[in-house]
Amino acid sequence: MTDDLDATVYALGHSDGELRRLSIQAQLVDPITKRFLAEAGVTPGMRVLDVGSGVGDVAFLAAELVGDKGTVVGTDRSAAALALARRRAEDRSLATVSFHDGDPAEMTFEAPFDAVVGRYVLMFQPDPAAMLRRLVRHLRPGGLVLFHEPYRGGIRSYPTVATYDHAWELINQTFKRLGADPEMGLKLHTTFLAAGLPAPAMRLESIVAGGATSLDHVHYEMDVVVTLAAQDADLRLEIPGGLQPEKLADRIFTEATATESVVLGRAEVAAWAHT
C-alpha cells in the first residue's frame, strides 16, 4: 500500500440524493456517535478536527460537546457537501464550527487539535493505517483520536426476511467492488496498531427494530442501494425479484411487518486512543 491518499475516492459520491440519504441516516446513528465521542473524552473547551465531515453531522455533535469555548474544524473533499454543511451551521448559529475543503492529511492548521474524529471514513481509504499516521500529526501530545466505522458482517433478520438478508450481502459485495471495506469496524484495533497508536478502547452498538416499528431501520440499511446502483450496474441486475432500487426498502418493510420479524442493522463500532 502507498501513503499517497490523493487518489482516494468516496465510493458513494456526493449527489443530491446521497447527501439527503446522509442526513436521514444521521437521525438514527447520531445518538450512537455522540455517546462514543462523550465516552472517549470529547469535553468542553476542546479543539476538534472532524475528518470527512460531509454535510456536517459529526462536526455538530462535537460542537455540542465542546461548547462555546471549544472549536470544531470540519474537513471534506466535496465542495457540494461542505456548502450544505456551512448553511446548516449558519442556520444553527454555530460560530464555533468551520469547514475547509480538501484532504485533511495534506492540510496545515494554525494550531494543534485536542482530538481528531471521523465517522465512516477509514472504510473508504486504500490504506487506513497510513491515513491515521498522517492525521495524528495534527494532534497535540496526548491528543485523542477516535473513529466510528461499520461492521456489516453481522446484519440479520429473525424470523428471516429473505429479501433483506440477500440485499445486505449484495450491498457488501458492491462496497468491495468499489474499493470500500464493509467490515472496517472490526479492523480498527489492528489499524490503530499499524498506525503506531496504542491499542484502542472499543465499543459496539447496533440499531434494531421489529415488524411495523422497523420502517426507519430498513431504510437506514437499504437506501444506500439507490446510490450504489447508480454507480455499479451489477448491483441493479442482482436486486431480488427485479425490483427497482427505490422500491427495495418498502418491499422489505412489508415482508418484515407480515412476519413480525426483527431487523438487525450493521454494527456501529468505535475505537479511540491517545497519542
Calculate what percentage of the chain has a pLDDT beyond 90. 77
Give 29-70 pLDDT, tens digit per residue.
999 999 999 999 999 999 999 999 988 999 999 999 999 999
Peptide bond into 159 cis (omega under 30): yes
Cell numbers representing residue 62 in the block: 462535537
Model pTM score: 0.90
Distance CA 239, CA 163 (A): 9
CA distances (Å), origin 29, targets 52, 75, 190, 268, 269: 16, 20, 24, 8, 11
* Nearest Cα residue to 83 out of 161, 19, 2: 19
Q: Are 40 and 119 in contact (CB under 8 A)?
A: no
Average pLDDT of span 194-222: 95
Tell me what the pLDDT averaged over the chain comes to.
91
Max intra-chain CA distance, the chain? 57
Of residues 164, 122, 120, the one with CA closest to residue 268: 120
Domains and CATH numbers, the chain: 16-274 (3.40.50.150)
In angstroms, the CA 79 to CA 81 distance is 6
Q: Are 70 and 44 in contact (CB under 8 A)?
A: yes
